[in-house]
Amino acid sequence: MTTTDTTTDLEDFRLRVRDFLARNAKRVDAAGDEESQDGETVDYLTGARVWQNSLFDAGFSGLSWPKEYGGQSLTMHHQRVFNEEANGYVMPSSPFMVTLGMCAPTLLQYGTEEQRRTHVPKMLRGDEIWCQLFSEPGAGSDVAGLTTKAVRDGDEWVINGQKVWTSGAHFADYGLIVTRTNPEVPKHKGITMFIVDMKSPGVTVRPLRQMSGGSGFNEVFFDDVRVPAANLVGEIDNGWMAAIGTLMNERVSIGAGGGGLGRGTGTAQFDRLAELATKVGRIDDGAARTELASIYVEERLLAILSERMRAGLKAGKAPGPEGSIAKLSGSELGRRVADMAMSLLAESGQAWTDGEDDSLHWAQTLLGSPGGAIAGGTPEIMRNILGERSLGLPKEPQVDRDIPFKDTRTN
């Protein structure tokens, strides 16, 4: 196949995708609910890996990513065609969101050639799952306030400290970790990023339970964990750049479904809500119609924005602060969808008997929605980024930007 996206080429491609999906993927309705990201059971994980393997082996993983790193070097038009065809199919891609949406792009941009060749193809194939080891108990919105230490010892670095809220650490093979390597300089200037093998001695993963009941995130402790110097990503003490890269990718990823995951382009949430409104006899109710229509509009706007954002990504650009628009819009949409479902279900949204699957589904949606708003940066942080970086407004007063990290105020 050539990389020129002539009409025939795209049509051929569409037929190949259609055929592949028909033979390998499950329809959304036949499979019931697409599992939430909460917890991720062993069965789900195994199934997801098998799916990602088959996607890769058939040449549909990393469509717009470079061939030398396992991708297909195709265009965003191909990605779009894939997404269109994937509508209505279950895409068990959530275990790979951090891997492909955040970690792989960071390696492509800041990693060594060796790191890219070793890991990216395995990431695309679902053989390696990665996690993002950024947040700490004292450093969430302010990741640059992190205190996990890395100290050089010959050809190795020794890491000590604690990370928290690490999604998927309980099943991840590797993690991207940011560490403090120089506390004598201002906080953004003494941070270094490494690849850490999650099976290394001294790594302890403890699951944390979310308010929705599942255990999708963890606390991760590092006790004298040794990492080869070759695992350095970017430059020593200049890891903040790479970290910003990961975070910007994360916002696109959470808000817009990036990373070549084949996210659908449809209006899945609207569809399901409209179905619910019909079922409960409220589809002719004026107030319900207005809200439903607004949700359709928001979901489509986000889909279009996402499409354009992903197209921008392909052009080799690192995502800009605009990822925050998607992140912000996505969490607001999530809240509205959950609220509307609760309003439609009335009493039956807050209690149910066995078998009342709508109630269960929407209760889970409701209980997951606050997490979606916080993960990857809170709405307040997104607004600060848009105001300061996209619009150039004066920065919030920063009390600790220019003083040595060791002199800053922490919790």
Partner 1 sequence: MSDMSEEREALRGAVADYLDANFPIDTVHRIANGKESVAADEWSKVAQGLGLAGLVIPEEFGGQGAGFGELGVVLQEFGRTLAPLPMLSSAALGTLPFLLSTDDAVRRPYLEALAAGSAPAALALTEESDSWPQAPQATTAVQSGDHWHVSGAKHYVLDNGGATFYVVSAATAHGIGLFVVDGADVVRTELHAIDLTRPQANIAFDQAPAVALVVHVGDELTRLQDLAAILVSSEQLGGADAVMRMFVEYAKIRVQFGRIIGSFQAIKHMCANTLVEVEKARGAAEDAADRAAEGEPDLALAASLAKVATSEAYTNATLTNIRVHGGIGYTWEHPAHLYFRRSRSTSALFGTPAEHREALLVGLGY
Ligand X SMILES: Cc1cc2nc3c(=O)[nH]c(=O)nc-3n(C[C@H](O)[C@H](O)[C@H](O)COP(=O)(O)OP(=O)(O)OC[C@H]3O[C@@H](n4cnc5c(N)ncnc54)[C@H](O)[C@@H]3O)c2cc1C
Catalytic residues: 250
Contact between residue 159 and residue 220 where contact means Cβ atoms under 8 Å apart: no
Determine if 367 is a binding residue for ligand X (CB under 6 A): no
- The continuous run of DSSP H or E covering 27 comes out as none
Determine if 398 is a binding residue for partner 1 (CB under 8 A): yes
Footprint (CB under 8 A) of partner 1, residues 148-167: 164-165
Footprint (CB under 6 A) of ligand X, residues 201-220: 217
Residue 74 CB, shortest distance to partner 1, in Å, is 38
Q: How far apart are CA 285 and CA 288, in angstroms?
A: 5
Candidates 66, 140, 183, 202: give the one binding ligand X (CB under 6 A).
Answer: 140
Say which DSSP state 349 is in.
Answer: G
CA distances from 404 to 177, 183, 185, 303, 399 (A): 22, 7, 4, 43, 12
Determine if 193 is a binding residue for ligand X (CB under 6 A): no
Write the CB contacts of 31 (distance below 8 Å, at least 6 apart in sequence): 90
Q: Which entry of partner 1, ligand X, none binds 345, CB below 5 to 8 A by partner kind? A: partner 1
Candidates 71, 126, 349, 376: give the one binding partner 1 (CB under 8 A).
Answer: 349
Residue 334 CB, shortest distance to ligand X, in Å, is 12
Q: How far apart are CA 236 and CA 227, in angstroms?
A: 14
Contact between residue 116 and residue 107 where contact means Cβ atoms under 8 Å apart: yes
Side-chain-side CA neighbours of residue 386 (13 Å): 16
Determine if 94 is a binding residue for ligand X (CB under 6 A): no
Write the CB contacts of 123 (distance below 8 Å, at least 6 apart in sequence): 70, 96, 99, 100, 103, 104, 130
Residue 319 CB, shortest distance to ligand X, in Å, is 17
Q: Which entry of partner 1, ligand X, none binds 132, CB below 5 to 8 A by partner kind? A: ligand X
Candidates 1, 15, 151, 346: give the one binding partner 1 (CB under 8 A).
Answer: 346
How far is C-alpha 269 from the geometric centre of its chain's CA atoms?
A: 18
Candidates 247, 328, 333, 366: give the one binding partner 1 (CB under 8 A).
Answer: 366
Q: Which entry of partner 1, ligand X, none binds 166, CB below 5 to 8 A by partner kind? A: ligand X
Tell me the site size for partner 1, rule CB under 8 A: 48
Candidates 48, 363, 385, 386: give the one binding partner 1 (CB under 8 A).
Answer: 363
Phi and psi for 55 in degrees, rounded to 5? -60, -45
Contact between residue 164 and residue 226 where contact means Cβ atoms under 8 Å apart: no
Tell me the site size for ligand X, rule CB under 6 A: 21
Determine if 134 is a binding residue for ligand X (CB under 6 A): yes
Residues forming contacts to partner 1 in the complex (CB under 8 A) are 135, 138-142, 145, 164-165, 208-211, 213, 287, 335, 342-343, 345-347, 349-354, 360, 363, 366-367, 370-371, 373-374, 378-380, 383-384, 396, 398-400, 408-411
